[in-house]
Structures are given as C-alpha cells and as structure tokens.
Amino acid sequence: MEFASKTVLVTGGGSGIGKAAALAYAKEGAAVALTYITSAEGAAGVVHDIQAAGGRALAIRADLTRENEVEKVFEQTEGELGALEAVFANAGGIIGRRPTTEMTLDFWREVIDVNLTSTFLTARAAFQRMAPRRRGAIVTMASLAAFNGAGPGAAAYAAVKGAIVAYTRALAKEGGPLGIRVNGVAPGLIATRFHERFNTPQGRRAVVEATPLGCEGAPDDVAQSVLFLSSARSAFVTGEIVQINGGVGFF
C-alpha cells in the first residue's frame, strides 16, 4: 500500500472532499489525523470507519485561523500517530454569497482567514516539521473559481482561491530545496454539501450541461488526485494545480 506506515493530516476532514481523502489515505495504509470545526459527527464517523477497517485515525476539533490551535493539531498528530509525511490543506469555504456593493470588510476578512490564513498556518507548521527531515508533501485546496471568477456573489471566494494558487507555486519554489513538494487541486462542481448549501438545482444543471463529461464530480475524484500528488508516484511534480472539473471551461 502506497502510504503504509506513514502519517497524514487532512484539514476539514469531516465531510465532502476531506472525508473522501481521509478514507482514501487510510485505504492505502496511512494513519490519518483529520480536523473539523462543525462536522463533529462526520469526523467521528470517519475515525470509526478507519478504525473498524483496522487502521489508525484521530479527529481533532480546531479553528485553523488560530496559530495556537494549528500548533495543537500538529503536536497531537505527531505525538499520537508519528511524523507527518503528507498534509492536505483542505479546510475552507465560501462562507456566503455577497455582491461587492453589500460586502462588509468583516466578511471579506473572514473569507480570507477561513481559506488563505488557514492554509498559510497549516503550511507553515508542516514546513517547520518536514524541513529538518527533508521530505514531505503538501496539497492545497484551490478551486475552479480561481480561474473563472466564480458565480454571482462569490468574488471574495474567487480572489482568495486565486491567492492559494499563487501561494502554492511560491511554496513549491521554497520547499523544493528542503525536500518538500507542494501542489494543489482545483475542483469544479463536486457533489458535496457545499453545492447543496451555496448553489441551486438550476445552477448545477447549467454547469453539468456545459461540462464535456456531462456530470458532476464525486468527492473521490478529487481524493484520488490528492493521493497521487502526495505519493511517490508524483515524485517529480511540484507547483502544479490539478483542475478536476470534467473539462468545463477548456472547450
């Protein structure tokens, strides 16, 4: 198994893409730590499923916009499961849809903190631990929104995901000499509660109709790319953003 005897961390691992990635890592033999903030039941379910299959797993509630809580996550993960080999910085979200004329500064800052600041704090903690070992892989969570500007009322989300694309490439340059690879995934329409909350049935149908593959993606479609980017199979890949969207926007 690709991740046998290795420890990985998935932030935002209690639902959706994070849950799929945590389960996929465990299936490949990894000991998995996952964080959650509101998905306590989902996180507990992921841990139960991994342990029931004979694996090792740990769920930690943490606000990843706070330095001390990020440090707690990394210390607890390595203390209980071992040295981290891979981190999927998945935590984030759209928060809500607001046009610029109605967007407050507090809302703008919240979107930045939940997505970009959490990614920075997670990446920094990972770098600090991986650099002395001169090995490790980090996968960030971007979005199709970074490339197409997102839908109505999501300008802040598009902006912050674009920043994550640039930050991922900058981290790859910095991490290469330290033995750390950094790549990202940029999903399009994936069938998760994200789109149940922030999209409409009509909007989803319109995207599917514009998608060459003619369907929505599944969380595991993203999880498998995350596994590839954090495994030895992609040993010479860094600074890449893999778009996972069924071809929408390319034709």
Q: Which residues are catalytic?
A: 157
Amino acid at 182: V
Say if residues 224 and 24 touch (Cβ distance below 8 Å): yes
Strand ranges for 21-63 from DSSP E:
31-36, 57-61
Residue 37: both structure tokens together: 């903030």
CB-count exposure of residue 184 (10 Å: 0-12, 13-18, 19+) = buried
Angstrom distance (rounded) from CA 106 to CA 183 = 30
- Residue reference for tokens 């890949």: 237
- The DSSP H or E segment spanning 186 is strand 180-187
The whole-angstrom separation of Cα 110 and Cα 129 is 28
